[in-house]
Amino acid sequence: MASLSRLDRVRLQQFLDRLSESSPGDFSSHVPAPEILRDWSQKIGSLGSQEDHDRLQRENELLRDVSNRLALGLDTEQLSERIMDALGALVRHDAAGLYLVRNGRIIWETLRGYDTENMHLVKSKLDRGLMAWSGMQRCSVRLGDVLDDGRYLNVRNQTRSELVVPILLEGQLMGFFNLEADQVEAFSPDDQYLVEVFAGQVALAIERSNLLQERMQRRQADQEMEVARSIQRDHFPEDNLSIGDLHIAGTYLTNKQVGGDYYDFFRLDMHRVLVTIADVTGKGVPAALIMTSVRTGVHLLTDQDSDLPGMVKRLNRYLSEITETNVFVTLFCGIYDTRDASFTFVNAGHNPPLVLQQDGSTRMLVDGGLLLGSFPGVSYEQGQTTIAPGESVLFYTDGISEALDAKEEEYGDARLLKSFQRHGGKEPARLLMCLLNDLQDFVGNSALASQTGDDLTLVVMHRARKEEA
């Protein structure tokens, strides 16, 4: 059974320790590993099949250890510097390059020993020269005298021998080692073999580093998304609002961290409150970005005169400028005035809010104009109604009416209306809860927003009866 001598083990350990400690640029010093590996390689080269098996096992252990040390939380730059240090320790050379490639292009190179003025030539090695050949053939190539071989691309005048080894992972080309030396026949078959085995481990190390970086990027993206979610949550009113005998509550659910629905209610002055609900085409981040613009527009364009059609017209023009034609926003906004219980509104292509009347029937708030963001020149008209004592108004986005049950049947406007009629008249926050409970009963056990695949928004406004107030 092949085994390393105690001395070899000590020297090997020194090599590994040196490898893990070596810093970028620590290239010229020579650690004893190549001799160990060479000796070892020669020793096991003559052994039989059991020995071959043991050799492979030992080799794997050795190089797995190298690989572990290489890939420990390093980014591409640190990793490639460490790899080049290890390569310098493994096989003597006068110049070398580590090239990482993806889709036939060099995406990274770490070079040592080349003149800076020839760097542009070095970069053309992937298209011409030995590297091109090696990449095509998926095998390494060793030239004893570069002047004898037409495939050699001269980027370094003093080079006389060259070794190119592809870095392959499951047959996929990940990069190359390119080693150059000033003497002829500088690289032996053992050197070639060692760099080939090393390249196999480097492939794993690079893959691991790539996966690690992807994971870190994903984690960072998740963290950023969490910040975005928190910012968006701050865009919604924190509390329910009461002004005079009017009480308002809203809720928003999304199956992503951010979404394209928006609702808002805020006081314009002592007597008036603005209520808005809007839905942006699509979901996720793109919709959320537009939703932020909608909110900004509503807040900035709503002035004391409260000319709603003018505000919506300006908002439409603005959204038409900043969105693609196929992206649009449906929006409803209205101003309730406690002095006369009037509710003036503009409905820009949004699901009409429902007013539940005392006798259980409903009326819809339709007046307004086209959806926003696609037709910049259009005008809007204003509707007006009076909210009688005891009446409730339901504002919603289509995520509610289009929610599906297990049989993929839609909840639909009719069920929503019935639910509203059943619970209408309750205090808004409680009414919202009842509406959501009915919807939950319909869609089954799944989480509401994930079941619908859309954002869900509900706002309820209720004018108290005299005895309630």
Contact set with other proteins (CB under 8 A) = 279, 281-282, 324-328, 330, 348-352, 368-371, 374-375, 378, 398
Quote the least distance from Cβ 372 to other proteins, whole Å: 10
Q: Tokens 């339901």 identify what position?
A: 394
- Distance between alpha carbon 455 and the CA centroid of its chain, in Å? 20
Nearer to other proteins, 57 or 384 (CB): 384
Quote the least distance from Cβ 370 to other proteins, whole Å: 5
Quote the least distance from Cβ 52 to other proteins, whole Å: 53
Nearer to other proteins, 34 or 368 (CB): 368
Bridge partners (DSSP) of residue 261 are 279
Nearest to 349, CA basis, from 375, 377, 384, 321: 375
Nearer to other proteins, 237 or 282 (CB): 282
Nearest to 459, CA basis, from 275, 294, 218, 320: 275
C-beta separation of 90 from 198 below 8 A: yes
Quote the least distance from Cβ 382 to other proteins, whole Å: 14
In whole angstroms, give the CA distance from residue 253 to residue 267: 24
In whole angstroms, give the CA distance from residue 236 to residue 232: 7
Nearer to other proteins, 392 or 452 (CB): 452
CB atoms under 10 Å from CB of 199, counted, come to 22
Nearer to other proteins, 279 or 391 (CB): 279
- Strand order in 161-169's β-sheet? 105-112, 95-102, 172-181, 161-169, 141-143
Nearer to other proteins, 226 or 324 (CB): 324
Long-range contacts, stretch 235-241, CB < 8 angstroms, 24+ apart: 235/262, 235/264, 235/291, 235/292, 235/295, 236/262, 236/263, 236/264, 237/263, 237/264, 237/265, 237/266, 240/428, 240/429, 241/265, 241/266, 241/267, 241/273
Phi, psi of 345 (to 5 degrees): -150, 165
Nearer to other proteins, 282 or 425 (CB): 282
Quote the least distance from Cβ 459 to other proteins, whole Å: 17
Quote the least distance from Cβ 324 to other proteins, whole Å: 7
Quote the least distance from Cβ 402 to other proteins, whole Å: 8
End-to-end alpha-carbon separation of the chain, Å? 94
Residue type, 237: P
Nearer to other proteins, 51 or 413 (CB): 413
Nearer to other proteins, 193 or 375 (CB): 375
Written in H, E and C, the secondary structure of 355-388 is EECCCCCEEECCCEECCECCCCCCCCCCEEEECC
Quote the least distance from Cβ 371 to other proteins, whole Å: 5
Nearer to other proteins, 264 or 279 (CB): 279
In whole angstroms, give the CA distance from residue 287 to residue 183: 63
* Cβ contacts of 347 within 8 Å, gap of 6 or more: 332, 353, 365, 366, 367, 368, 369, 383
Bridge partners (DSSP) of residue 358 are none
Quote the least distance from Cβ 392 to other proteins, whole Å: 21
Quote the least distance from Cβ 349 to other proteins, whole Å: 4
The DSSP line for 397-417 is -HHHHT-B-TT--B-HHHHHH
Nearest to 461, CA basis, from 361, 349, 338, 296: 338
Quote the least distance from Cβ 289 to other proteins, whole Å: 16
Nearer to other proteins, 34 or 349 (CB): 349
In whole angstroms, give the CA distance from residue 391 to residue 420: 12
